[in-house]
Homo-oligomer: A and B are copies of this chain.
Amino acid sequence: MGPPRWFGREATQASFLLGGIGTGNVSLGSRGDLRDWEIFNRPAKGQKLPYSFFAIAVNQGGGVTARVLESRLTSPFSESHGFHPGSVAGLPRFRDSRMWAEYPFVYVELVDGGLPIRVLLEAYTPFIPHEPDDSGLPLAVMTYTVQNVEDEELEVTVAGSLLNAVGFTGVGDFGWVKPEGFGSNVNAYLEERGLKGLKFTGSKQGAESLLNGSLALATLESDVTVKPYWYRSGWWDNLREYWDDLAGDGRLTDLGYGEPSDDGKTDVGSLGVVKTIGPGESVDFTFLVSWYFPNRLNNWSQRLAGCGCKECGEPARNRYAVRFTDAWDVCRYYAEHRERLEGLSGRFRDALYGSTLPIHVLDAVASNITVIRSSTCFWLENGTFLAYEGCFDDAGCCSGNCTHVWNYEQTLAHLFPSLARNMRETEFRVETGGDGKMSFRAYNAFPGTRSWDSVDAASDGQCGSVMRLYREWKLCGDTGWVNGLWPKARLALDYACRTWDPDGDGVTEAKQHNTYDISFYGPNPLSGVMFLGALKAGVHMAEAAGDYEAAEKYRVLFEKGRVNLDKALWDGDYYVQRLGDVDAYKYQHGVGCLSDQLLGQLNASLMGLGYLLPPPHVRKAIRSVYRHNFMRDFTDYDNTQRTYALNDEAGLLLCTWPKGGRPAYPFVYSHEVWTGIEYHVASHLILEGYVDEGLTLVKAVRDRHDGVRRSPWDEVECGHHYARSLSSWGLLLALSGFSCDAVGRRIEFKPKIDADEFSCFWSTGTAWGMYTQTLDRATGRPKWSIDLIHGSLDGYTVNGENLK
């Protein structure tokens, strides 16, 4: 299969995040540019790191041509002071570029007919499902493959430059780096067992400072040329000297500085690799860019100064800080384990993209993995995995593993099940009180000022957490683990019964705070179906724990509820909210068609809990959601809420009123379009046999994220890299009909598409690989095979047959 989608130079929004779980990121733009340096334990969209770029010098018979390894800049060019030299905007670049990704790898092809070379950049950060530590390296691996297209030998230098950013606090008005944080910065050249490069440190910052850390720029190549420190001078002399040096002969001159930087100053350092390339030959130049900023604000609010005051507190430490001593140590680890890290990352890519699934589905499934490795999530020293809902440009947005947002995610559960289990542990062990009320934002697990909405429990989130506890158990098969959490889960479920279904008819009707940041009143599908799912999950978990009394209670309530809910809410076309006067409370949906009406059902279906409501109604309702809520053009639509789809774009509205009856003030997001919901509705459509409809919906989302309008690797809702988009993994589950019961040691596939010639990636809680199914023409029945890449399937049946 070819690359899924191309992004040209004009795709200014395309920004591929490099970096691991809980490490922060630096991103690669479609021009091959490094951007969005979010390595300092907070989001930093648009943050450039001055003078940090790669360049190439080609020596062809003594004449040297030097180029920045990026394509030319794209408009607008309207900065108030032009481009500052720190952006090296004035240096020559390649005419054009094309970018594509096969997660976790990203590629940028640099094109310039006037040059004697072709260049392909491959960049990635190791990513291995089920191995969060090895997928959590603060590192970007950049390999430039340079092809000589001339018929004579070329001497080629590829050189990376990096600002010593220890103490970096941004750039000032005129584009200069702010001086405050810098002092005694050192760029040391090191060689160690094949690893060569620069280690960037600084000693102005104390060990507890949020600015304290290190960076490294290294290579495993042999012939290197180094300028540890750029020219120490005024204005922008340093860039002039560097470029004249590189473009002079392709070799860098060590200027011989022996002293650390002065107070308020730092230095850029450069590392080049020199290779001779024969006519027609292609050669790789591999660099490692790593960072190590161990301390992060010990508070959900990233608006605090981090000054060590009482409110800021002692800093928290990143998980990666426990494993490594500094950025050079990260490079060392990579160098020692390169074969495995690169090999398994590549096998994941090949298993995912070698699939027969439609390319836009793979795109949706893979691109949102990004969320897990973005600043939306972080990972503490003690192993606690925490997450915002998403990110502002410069801070996390909406704190606390929010249960009603993370209710939609499937990706983490299937790729890093230990982290998903950690989230469940936080929810039940740390955030659920003795009364069973679960704080839907994790303020016990990590400090922060409680947000305005943290009063009521969230009906959808809390019931959803009970369901997800069941899912993680079924994926990992560790009954001891779920039994350990059951007492708290039972409290939580009992709280749900008592609070939202006080009359005990199995249908929630009290005030139900939910993911729309308002409360629904009366019977409604979002809370109601999720409650049924929680009850059904509760039955199974109670039984596993030997808590038969609870199991029976939930069973009885579930049986009542599923009948009562369907009776109360089914309107013949879809499920509605039942309220005498829909305007008695603001922000309801009433007889509107809610896209989320069957979220609980989808989750139940995907985790093997089966139908909670009559299958014909489920099937008709999900089809109605598509029919009523999928808009093919927004040009004439009037939305007075937030806007996520516009003009001639297509997308799924959260709610519509096809039969009239819109409340004067419907719930506050009703007219919006959220990718996280589009994906789960698409998954559900596929699961119920509406494959074309589901794929049309997915295509619409991906078309909106075309790199020009939006980044394919950043689906926003209430913030960048919004967690709800992690529902996209459900598409893979639905299309492959995958189910896993690790307790019963069973996995099954029921492809919904191309069943005669089907292959896909799969993962249980303990193993992953590739599944292939073809039609056995002799028997007329499907023939399957499993390629187990990681973990074990010992004792499992596949599609009811023993694993061969």
Q: Which of B237, B672, B716 contacts A665 (CB 8 A)?
A: B237
A455 to chain B, nearest CB (A): 15
Asked if B709 and A78 make an inter-chain contact with CB atoms under 8 angstroms apart, the answer reads yes
Please give, as numbers and ranges, the residues of chain B lying within 8 Å of A79 by CB-CB distance: 716
Contact (Cβ within 8 A) B647 A73: yes
Contact of A638 among B73, B92, B664 (CB under 8 A): B92
CA gap between A83 and B646 in the complex, in Å: 10
- Output the least CB separation between A574 and chain B (Å): 24
Contacts of A91 in B (CB 8 A): 638-640
CB proximity of A337 to chain B, nearest CB, Å: 36
Q: Report copies per complex.
A: 2
Would B80 and A236 count as touching, CB distance under 8 A? no
Contact call B643/A82, Cβ cutoff below 8 A? yes
Question: Main secondary structure on chain A at its contact with chain B?
Answer: loop
Chain B residues with CB below 8 A from A387, complex form: none
A800 near B: Cβ within 8 Å? Answer: no
Is B719 a contact partner of A92 (Cβ separation < 8 A)? no
CA distance A114 to B638 in the complex (A): 16
Asked if A717 and B82 make an inter-chain contact with CB atoms under 8 angstroms apart, the answer reads yes
Measured between beta carbons, the chain B residues less than 8 angstroms from A717 are: 81-82
Interface-side segment among A388-396, A690-698, A761-769: A388-396
Segment from A239-247, A321-329, A402-410, A503-511 that makes contact with B: A239-247
Distance in Å: Cβ of A520 to nearest Cβ of chain B: 15
Q: For A665, list chain B residues within 8 Å (CB).
A: 233, 235, 237, 240
A775 is an interface residue with CB less than 8 A from chain B: no
Partner of A75, one of B392, B638, B640, B708: B708
- A227 is an interface residue with CB less than 8 A from chain B: no
Contacting B at CB under 8 A, from A635-663, are 635-644, 646-647
| Most chain B CB atoms below 10 A, which of A78, A80, A716 | A80
A644 & B80 in contact (Cβ 8 Å cutoff): no
Q: How far is the CB of A629 from chain B (nearest CB, A)?
A: 16
A76-B13, A76-B710, A709-B76 known; A637 vs B92 contact (CB < 8 Å): yes
Which chain A residues numbered 57 to 92 have a C-beta less than 8 Å away from chain B? 66, 72-73, 75-85, 87-92
Given that A639-B91, A646-B90 are known contacts, is A668 also in contact with B235, CB under 8 Å in the complex? yes
Known contacts being A709-B76, A709-B77, is A640 close to B243, with CB within 8 Å? yes
A671 CB within 8 Å of chain B: yes
A12 within 8 A of B: yes
Q: Note all chain B residues with C-beta closer than 8 A to A711.
A: 78
Whether A646 and B77, one on each chain, are in contact in the complex, defined by CB atoms closer than 8 angstroms, is yes
Q: Given that A13-B78, A718-B81, A720-B80 are contacting pairs, would A72 and B646 also be in contact in the complex, using a CB cutoff of 8 Å?
A: yes
A704 to B72, CA, bound (A): 16
Contact A646 B73 (CB under 8 A): yes
Q: A247 touching B638 by the CB < 8 A rule?
A: yes
- Given the complex of chains A and B, what is the CA–CA distance between A639 and B88 in angstroms? 8
B719 contacts A80, CB within 8 Å? Answer: yes
A766 to B82, CA, bound (A): 38
Contact yes or no, B13 A243, CB < 8 A: no
CB of B716 within 8 A of CB of A642, answer no
A520-531: CB near B (< 8 Å → 1, else 0) gives 000000000000
Whole-angstrom distance from the CB of A676 to the nearest CB of chain B? 13
- Whether the Cβ atoms of B391 and A635 lie closer than 8 Å is no
Contact in complex: B640, A390 (CB < 8 Å): no
Q: How far is the CA of A794 from the CA of B619 in the complex (A)?
A: 90
Known: A81-B719, A90-B639, A638-B243. A12 touches B646 (CB 8 A): no
Contact with B along A610-645 (1 / 0, CB 8 A): 000000000000000000000000011111111110
The residue that A668 contacts in the complex, of B87, B236, B635, with Cβ under 8 A, is: B236
B72 touches A390 (CB 8 A): no
A453 to chain B, nearest CB (A): 13
A560 within 8 A of B: no
**Mask for A390-422, Cβ within 8 A of B = 1, else 0?**
111101010000000000000000000000000
CB distance from A319 to the nearest CB of B (A): 26
Q: For the complex, is A714 an interface residue (Cβ under 8 Å from B)?
A: yes
Which residues from B are CB-within-8-Å of A82? 642-644, 672, 716-717
**Per a CB cutoff under 8 Å, which of B83, B244, B392, B709 touches A80?**
B392
Given contacts A77-B704, A83-B646, A91-B640, 12 further A-B contacts (CB under 8 A): A13-B78, A66-B638, A72-B646, A77-B710, A78-B710, A78-B714, A85-B641, A89-B643, A90-B642, A236-B641, A240-B640, A240-B664
Q: List 27 A-B contacts (CB under 8 A).
A: A13-B76, A72-B635, A72-B647, A75-B709, A76-B708, A77-B710, A78-B710, A78-B711, A79-B716, A81-B392, A81-B718, A81-B719, A83-B646, A87-B643, A90-B638, A90-B639, A90-B641, A90-B643, A114-B636, A235-B587, A235-B665, A235-B668, A236-B640, A236-B641, A237-B665, A244-B664, A247-B638
